[in-house]
Structure 1
């Protein structure tokens, strides 16, 4: 195997790792988005359950 082939094998291996990591990232972001949507739907106003308005929410 020549040096070019070794470099290409390393590149392909790195790209495979990148693709796996990116797919995991996308999955985590989808989960995060779902959690944010659920959280937003639970909050109908800037007031908390105790009636205290968080700083900057006025």
Structure 2
């Protein structure tokens, strides 16, 4: 009886850890997607800015 309870508890513990890790991975993946999109967006903005600055410098010289 005692061993049964122990096994049940340990299996439940493992199960909860698996679920926890799974949820963490999903959160991490979502954040990763978000951050990669935003960094891509920032890169695009920076590129367009540098193009504008290049044009302005050409005009100024």
TM-score, normalising length: structure 2: 0.70
Total equivalences in the alignment = 50
Which structure has the greater CA radius of gyration? 2
Q: Runs of 5+ in structure 2 lacking a partner? A: 1-10
1:21 corresponds to: 31
**Counterpart Cα distance in 1 of 2:32 and 2:42:** 15
Aligned mates of 1:44, 1:16 — CA distance in 2: 42
- What is the aligned-residue RMSD (CA, Å)? 2.5
Unaligned runs of 5+ in 1: 48-58
- Between 1 and 2, higher relative CO (CA 8 Å, sep ≥ 6) is seen in 1
- TM-score norm. by structure 1 comes to 0.73
